[in-house]
Chain A
Amino acid sequence: MSVENAPVVDVDEAAIPVEKKMYYRFESNDKKEFRVSELAIQQSETLNRLVEAMGYTSEDVENKPAIAIENIDGKTLKLVFQWCEHHKGEAIPVDDGSVPKIVEIPEFDAKLMDIDNGLLFKLIWAADYLNIVQLLNVSCKKVANMAQGKTPAQLRRVYLLPSDEEDEAAKRAAQEAQDPRAREVEEEFEERKRQGGNSFF
């Protein structure tokens, strides 16, 4: 996708300072390109550090290829950057360790997250990967709200939680599926450890 055709997420023109705004170009793993303002990028610790390290000028942004974000698809990245543009300039919350966390889901975020659970799942992965603290908080809050009023049995169904028996069975299956050579090496290592040997080799 060309720079001109790249989807530009909501931008509040009134909030734009008089000096020329700096934008960066990002590309999702399905080759969709996004132009995102420098201020919006500050919501993501990962991207902020990345662009700082790259030290791009406005000319570099236009002339060099878009920065690839290889493990996030375009649909998810669009939501991420929409969120960052809407919340640009806002302070990044500091975690005080409290339980439950005090997180309110603003109207904009609620509308943005009115999506199916598959996309919500990807959005949380992206927020975690890009280290966008408040987006992670609100999206996790939405998932936490699914627990309201549910008994343990209902919670198990909602969150697809395996029972102890299922956990055990999965562990056994994983052990059985292990490469026989690797298992052999592991057994030999355990045997030597039992015999008090310090070195495997």
Chain B
Amino acid sequence: MNGTNQRTFPLLRLPLTAQKNVLRNMEILYLFGFSLCSRAIKSLVKSLNITANGIILTFRGLCNLTMVFKNRTIRLIIGTNEELQGVLLQIEHLRSRTGQSLGADVVQALQFGKERPIIDWYLEYWKKPIFTVKDWLEHFMSLCHCRSIDCLQFINPAYSIDSIEENTKGIRFNVVDSSDVESRQYSQEVVKRFYHANTVILDDNIFETATETHGFLVQNFMKILSELQLGLNDLLVTNFSVLDCYDPNLSEKKLNRFLKLWKKGSNPNLTRLLIETEWEPSAVNESLILSGLNSKIIPKSDVKIYEQRRALGRPYTLKIEEGFEIQRKDGTRATIVFHKLSNFRFEFFVWF
């Protein structure tokens, strides 16, 4: 009989090394599908020790799990059959008002190559009638031995925050990104519910009162990337290590005051601060900012490298070639950099 006409192959009767070799020759997408055949097969796939370089969970309408591997990216869209076909939009609407655990019996799986064209996909959905979103997440994460997700992203989700919290219980998130949520109340809930994350990304100041803003800033986030409009008082209460923010009310005098307080010991965890302003660069009085700080001009030969971890991939590095150095009373040094682009940006690096 010609091999191409054969329909079946007794895979599990091969020696274990050969079974694993067959599996390792499969595209990751098919391995994921394979893992759904039975518990024994799932264990076999797990034994391959596949590692994902990054995982992003996005609630963009439905639940999307993106897993990044070397040269491959898998996207899994989790929902019900009707939802995936985009027919019963009403169900999404109902879900946004309820706190139920999210039944999701099908998954649409896509695989992308390095340059992003879809290189493989399943025309038919993967089905597990009794599965919920939580079950799918646990299944796919366990295949790669992952206990945490790099980024939890909200882009106008169809699900209520209660449902999402319920279905992601026990999963750790490194970054929570709520910058694309239109509802301020929803964003507030995101920050409140997912306070364990290291980094929070917000697009705007979602808090209505100064007390609420302060309450948020004193949390132990490592990093906040946002267009939060912060005053000097806000800056001084922060507990984070990295902050990108925007301050329309900043003045040279306020910046100078902040730097003087840093020298005295405020913001001990801060490693990087970037403040965007609306100032015309030529109109900025730099000497006023540096007044009384005992700063030194850093020679161009003295290049420093700042390394910042990202939600996904390798940390990015910043080369700091010029600026002004100041020193805190405990000996910690920091570099002040003025960026004169279309607007004035103030950047501050602390060297531990």
Residues of A that sit less than 8 Å from B by CB: 97-101, 103, 113-117, 120-121, 124-125, 127-129, 136-137, 140-152, 155-164, 167
Contact = CB atoms under 8 A, between A and B. Distances in A.
Nearest to B45: A99
A189 B200 CA distance: 56
Interface residues of B, number: 45
A121 B70 contact: no
B22 A140 contact: yes
A188 to B, nearest CB: 30
B283 interface: no
B30 A150 contact: yes
Contacts of A148: 27, 30
A147 B34 contact: yes
Nearest to B126: A152
Given A99-B48, A116-B6, A120-B3, A161 B11 contact: yes
Contacts of A114: 2-4
B50 interface: yes
A-B pairs with lowest CB-CB distance, top 9: A144-B25, A117-B6, A140-B21, A159-B11, A116-B1, A152-B36, A141-B25, A140-B22, A147-B30
A116 B72 CA distance: 32
Given A147-B30, A151-B126, A164-B40, 16 more contacts: A99-B48, A114-B2, A117-B8, A121-B9, A127-B18, A128-B17, A136-B17, A137-B25, A143-B22, A144-B24, A147-B34, A152-B36, A155-B33, A159-B8, A159-B9, A159-B12
B237 interface: no
A120 B18 CA distance: 12
Contacts of B34: 147, 152, 155
10 contacts: A100-B72, A116-B2, A117-B8, A124-B14, A144-B25, A152-B34, A159-B8, A161-B41, A162-B38, A164-B38
A140 B9 CA distance: 11
Name the residue among A99, A103, A142, A161 with the largest chain B CB count within 10 angstroms. A99
Nearest to A142: B3
Given A117-B3, A144-B23, A155 B12 contact: no
Nearest to B25: A144
A100 B15 contact: no
Given A144-B26, A152-B37, A161-B38, A116 B12 contact: no
Interface string B28-51: 101101101111110000001110
Name the residue among B14, B37, B126 with the largest chain A CB count within 10 angstroms. B37
Nearest to A157: B8
Interface in B36-93: 36-41, 48-50, 69-70, 72
A111 B253 CA distance: 80
Given A114-B3, A117-B3, A167-B40, A150 B33 contact: yes
Contacts of A127: 18
B8 A160 contact: yes
B13 interface: yes
A146 B13 CA distance: 16
Given A100-B26, A114-B3, A137-B25, A164 B9 contact: no
B220 to A, nearest CB: 37
Contacts of B313: none
Given A98-B70, A152-B126, A161-B41, A120 B22 contact: no
Contact of B13 (A99, A121, A155, A156): A121
Contacts of A103: 25
Given A113-B3, A114-B3, A136 B70 contact: no
A99 B22 contact: no
B277 to A, nearest CB: 48
Nearest to B10: A160
Nearest to B48: A99
A157 B34 CA distance: 12
Name the residue among B2, B18, B49 with the largest chain A CB count within 10 angstroms. B18
A160 B9 contact: yes
Contacts of B41: 161
Given A114-B3, A152-B36, A159-B9, A128 B22 contact: no
